[in-house]
Structure 1
Amino acid sequence: MTRQRIVLLFGGQSGEHEVSLNSATSVLKAIDSEKYEVQTIGISKSGQWHWGVNPVDWQSDSSIHGIQVNLIHDPSNPHFIALDGSQLPHNGKFDFIFPVLHGPFGEDGTIQGLFEMANVPYAGSGVLGSALGMDKDRMKAVFTQAGLPQAPYLTILRETLHKNMEKVLKSIEQSLGYPCFVKPANLGSSVGISKANSPEELLKALKLAAEYDRKIVVEKNIIGREIELSVLGNDEAQASVPGEILPSKDFYDYEAKYIDTGSRLVIPAVLDPQVVSSLQEKAVQAFHAVEACGLSRVDFFVTKDNQIYINEINTMPGFTQISMYPKLWEASGIPYSELITRLIELGFERFKDSRSRKISV
């Protein structure tokens, strides 16, 4: 049987570059080598694409370079070429791209647009689903339209913040109060997020978030358990069992996720059966609301009286074997290696469906 040629794409320019290397390392080890022949491409922090680099090597030495390549956007013959003129395996041709890119220029719809223009099948959500899933402001607007319960919030433009800081502070205090969470609208892995308990902390948090994005989302604090579910599928998506995060810090920030090992994951989360059912229904509803495809992790808060509030959707969650997304599916009966295969199959399914439509008369 001829193996399908898979390009594993990792790294990227965002602050989640190292997280991506961890995800790629796990995928590389677990992918079914009898079905798939894997080529690796690492995107450096400065944006160059390097064929043949190993994510493990990049973890220890980011100065290692492979063959610098570009993707040729010929819809009839998409392939990679080496910029130094050297010969690539199979002349740079491939069957499928599996991106494990997190954050801006990876899961925000930009690289997905590149794949679409080149007529390339790939894993995960398309342009719209990725963009909506990345932008917390637009995501929340879509969730509101879908009738999903969420914490009260405000969106503030950086320009408005700079022009009238005092008015912004007063508006947040009156409508949301303390404590509140301040987030850049378009970053992942809790980068740039702060919890503000006072006017002084709020001012500092707003200035920090403004360094990362022109839009800032401020949310009312919800006291509840942090519950996450994994979603798998395309039009007929399904949700996993829920898992609970017990953060080692005040909230589940970047350090608690990736550096501090004190945080714990409880899988499955201990919840009433009707709450589990409601969470699974809402997770799939959120997945379809943003038009996600393939995979997503959906995060919720559950209060003491079992009220459910959606927090966000992540269309390219961390994908190491110890990440919440695959661990939830493992607990739901889908092992890690099989999950990778399912995501490749779903990507091909979506590609076939999208190419069956007419785009001109």
Structure 2
Amino acid sequence: MTAAKLTVGLIYGGKSGEHEVSLQTAFSVMNALDYGKYNAVPVYIDKQGRWNMGETHTAAPASLEALQLNGGESATAEAMSVLWRKLSGQESLIDVLFPLLHGTYGEDGTIQGLFEMMDMPYVGAGVLASSAGMDKAIMKSLFAQAGLPQCKYETFIAAEYEANAHDILGAIEHNLGFPCFVKPANLGSSVGISKAKDRAELERAIQYALRFDLKVVVEEAVDAHEVEVGVLGNELPLASVPGEIVSSSDYYDYDAKYIDGNSRMIIPAEIDSELAENLRELALRAFKAIDGNGLCRADFFVRRSDRAIMINEVNTMPGFTAYSMYPLLWRETGKSYPELLDQLIQLGLDRYNKRHTLQFKRD
């Protein structure tokens, strides 16, 4: 007798600058799922934030375009009536949700909070880790508390800059120097990031970053290799082999990641075993520092002058096509893309089941 298939709800698209990246991720995942184990229900969130639920798939979709669902004006209400069934005492038609959303409203804890309210199991980081992993300023504070080495940085909000730009610019010049990198605190895929080489460029870069977020992080420039490590697990996570990004640009910006196609990934990274083990250990510490679950990719600088390691950031929903860094890191560590999907789904179910043994009120 064969076990019943699990029905996986794949959430993708979203009100985000990374909408198209999410579509690519969803198409890749739906083509790699083992349909002997799973049925897949596509749930497409369009750029206006409307939810569209498709028919159950028992095989991979024919094209990427087939995932861009349009259910009309009533689509969101119909999708929510299915997703919220458990709260009205009905049996859920979906066993586990798999968010494949990148950036705002998908990777920042907002949709994870919705899943918690729905009482639905879901893959990946919870509310806290998602929020902390998106907000670079909060993330850096948690890393500092965990004793993780970082490059020097300054952070401020828009209101502080409007009231006291002169002093903030002076502090950046004094503490970080030029060149430096200016980033919106709460975006992914290098959107809104600029490299500033003098005061004039710094002012322009800050104004540009403030178009995307109300909080800005400015970091010193480090002459370094960019090395990344995948983390997989819940309470007892594992770390992958490290891989190196060789950017086609001056730094790994949006064009270098997604457009020009000339950046390279070296997996495993060409580093000695001691450095690789140190990176893996720091990746696990970073995952625990943000209270991670399921998966993350930890990104590091390895300074060229002395091989010192500095953590840059973690990404709780990294690029996830079959050719993205995170799955490739695990492939080189001995876990295929379909096996990775299996484990992530099981980790989401395990976390849900363990949390449901807890009491949320006194007897």
| Superposed pair shares fold, TM > 0.5 | yes
Partner of 2:24: 22
> Comparing 65-74 with 332-341, which one deviates more in the overlay?
65-74
Partner of 1:318: 319
Is the counterpart of residue 145 in structure 1 residue 145 in structure 2?
A: yes
- Residue type matched to 1:56 in 2? L
- Residue type matched to 1:133 in 2? G
Deviations 1:213-261 (A, max 9, x none): 1110011111110000100000000110000000000111111111110
- Residue type matched to 2:93 in 1? K
Q: How far off is 1:325 after superposition? A: 0.3
Partner of 1:169: 169
Q: How far off is 1:166 after superposition? A: 2.2
Q: Distance in 1 between matches of 2:116 and 2:92?
A: 18
Partner of 2:58: none
Is the counterpart of residue 284 in structure 1 residue 293 in structure 2?
A: no
Give secondary structure in 1 for the equivalent of 2:79: strand
Task: Choose from 34, 37, 60 the match for 2:36.
Answer: 34
Partner of 1:44: 46
Give secondary structure in 1 for the equivalent of 2:64: helix
For residues 90-129 of structure 1, the aligned pairs below 5 Å read 93-129=93-129
Is the counterpart of residue 56 in structure 1 residue 78 in structure 2?
A: no
- Residue type matched to 1:6 in 2? V
1:78 and 1:331, CA in 2 relative to 1: closer, same or farther beyond 3 A?
farther
> TM (normalized to structure 1)?
0.93
Q: 5+ residue gaps in structure 2?
A: 56-60
Q: Distance in 1 between matches of 2:164 and 2:117?
A: 42
For residues 1-361 of structure 1, the aligned pairs below 5 Å read 1=2, 2-52=4-54, 56-57=64-65, 65-66=70-71, 68=75, 69-72=78-81, 73=84, 75-76=86-87, 93-304=93-304, 305-361=306-362
In the alignment, is the contact (CA less than 8 A) between 1:78 and 1:120 conserved in 2?
Answer: no
Q: Distance in 1 between matches of 2:296 and 2:51?
A: 26
- Residue type matched to 1:170 in 2? G
**Percent identity between the aligned chains?**
48
Q: Distance in 1 between matches of 2:333 and 2:89?
A: 37
Q: Distance in 2 between matches of 1:237 and 1:268?
A: 19
- Residue type matched to 1:40 in 2? P
In the alignment, is the contact (CA less than 8 A) between 2:86 and 2:92 conserved in 1?
Answer: no
Residue-pair matches, total: 347
> Could you say what the CA RMSD is over the residues aligned between the two structures, in angstroms?
1.6
Q: 5+ residue gaps in structure 1?
A: 80-90
Deviations 1:30-50 (A, max 9, x none): 011000000101000100001
- Residue type matched to 2:70 in 1? H
In the alignment, is the contact (CA less than 8 A) between 1:229 and 1:239 conserved in 2?
Answer: yes
Q: Distance in 1 between matches of 2:336 and 2:160?
A: 48
Q: Distance in 2 between matches of 1:230 and 1:58?
A: 30
Q: How far off is 1:165 after superposition? A: 2.1
In the alignment, is the contact (CA less than 8 A) between 1:232 and 1:296 conserved in 2?
Answer: yes
- Residue type matched to 1:285 in 2? R
Q: How far off is 1:167 after superposition? A: 2.1
Give secondary structure in 2 for the equivalent of 1:236: coil
Q: Distance in 1 between matches of 2:95 and 2:134?
A: 27
Give secondary structure in 2 for the equivalent of 1:165: helix
Q: Distance in 2 between matches of 1:351 and 1:127?
A: 13
Q: Distance in 2 between matches of 1:31 and 1:4?
A: 11
Deviations 1:278-331 (A, max 9, x none): 000000000011011001000000012220000000000010011000000000
Q: How far off is 1:188 after superposition? A: 0.5
- Residue type matched to 1:65 in 2? N
- Residue type matched to 2:283 in 1? A
- Residue type matched to 1:37 in 2? N
In the alignment, is the contact (CA less than 8 A) between 2:32 and 2:337 conserved in 1?
Answer: yes
